[in-house]
Amino acid sequence: MELKVGDLVSIRHFSGTKLFKSLVLESNSDTIWVKLVEDIALLNCSIGDPIVLGYELEDEVYISSCTLLDMDKPQNALNVKIDNFETTTNKRLFVRFPVSIYAEARIGQSQTKNLAMVKNISFNGMMIHSKHDFPLYQELKFDLHVGITIHIKAVVIRKTKDTHNYEYGLKILYTDVHTPNLLKKYLVLLKKEQEEFMKKFKED
């Protein structure tokens, strides 16, 4: 699905505490420029960060996992690459839910915390970006900061590197019976927030 110039979208970045109203300025296949209605300085973005983009079309709410390619601070604009679209009515959404979450990762029993950004998450795994080089098959402990802190243990099963970050695919290893429920409640909350935001956005 290709967005058009003038389309209204929402933007979520892990440094912000809410969804941001935005307008599509340029659209070229899977790469778009969006202008934030509010000051871009409210977001502490870096190139390569995961961004979540929301969009409504024919009463369907879509969310997309994106990567930040560039910024134009004077124009209050972000250039993002759209990796994939999902609709919030799709029950498969919980297989891989697009997010932008700040997290801290620790190796084994180490107390050293390494910054990581979660790009998508499911009940079985997640994709993260980090500047830290973790070995394949390494077990990691994560603190996901989502208003509350969700503690997750995971193992690295896939690893690639681009210009700005390492990208990791991880398999979640549950050690606490409450963690799956906490994660499910959080994802349901995100889904509801996205749908209500786009509905209100459309009415405004």
**What are the extents of the domains in the chain?**
8-95+188-203, 97-187
What pTM did the predictor assign? 0.86
Per-residue model confidence (pLDDT) at position 117: 95
Q: Which CATH architecture does the domain made up of 8-95+188-203 adopt?
A: Roll (2.30)
Residue 23: pLDDT band with limits 50, 70, 90: very high
Per-residue model confidence (pLDDT) at position 94: 53
How do residues 39-66 score in pLDDT, each as one tens digit? 888 889 999 999 999 998 887 888 899 9
Per-residue model confidence (pLDDT) at position 51: 95
Per-residue model confidence (pLDDT) at position 185: 87
- Per-residue pLDDT for 88 more than 70? no
Per-residue model confidence (pLDDT) at position 53: 94
DSSP 74-128: GGTEEEEEEEEEEETT-GGGGGSEEEEEEEEEEETT----EEEEEEEE-SSEEEE
Residue 157 CA to residue 172 CA, distance in Å, equals 10
The rounded radius of gyration (Å) of the Cα atoms in the chain is 17
If one looks up domain 97-187 in CATH, what number appears? 2.40.10.220
- Per-residue pLDDT for 93 more than 60? no
Identify which has the larger pLDDT, 185 or 117: 117
- Per-residue pLDDT for 107 more than 80? yes
Residue 147 CA to residue 159 CA, distance in Å, equals 28
**46-82 residues labelled b (16+ CB within 10 A) or e (exposed):** eebbbbbbbbbeeeebbbbbbbbbebeeeebbbbbbb
How do residues 121-177 score in pLDDT, each as one tens digit? 988 899 999 999 999 999 999 999 888 889 999 999 999 998 889 999 999 998 788
CA-closest candidate to residue 142, choices 131, 120, 126: 126
Residue 66 CA to residue 48 CA, distance in Å, equals 9
70: Cβ contacts below 8 Å, ≥ 6 apart: 47, 78, 79
- Per-residue pLDDT for 22 more than 90? yes
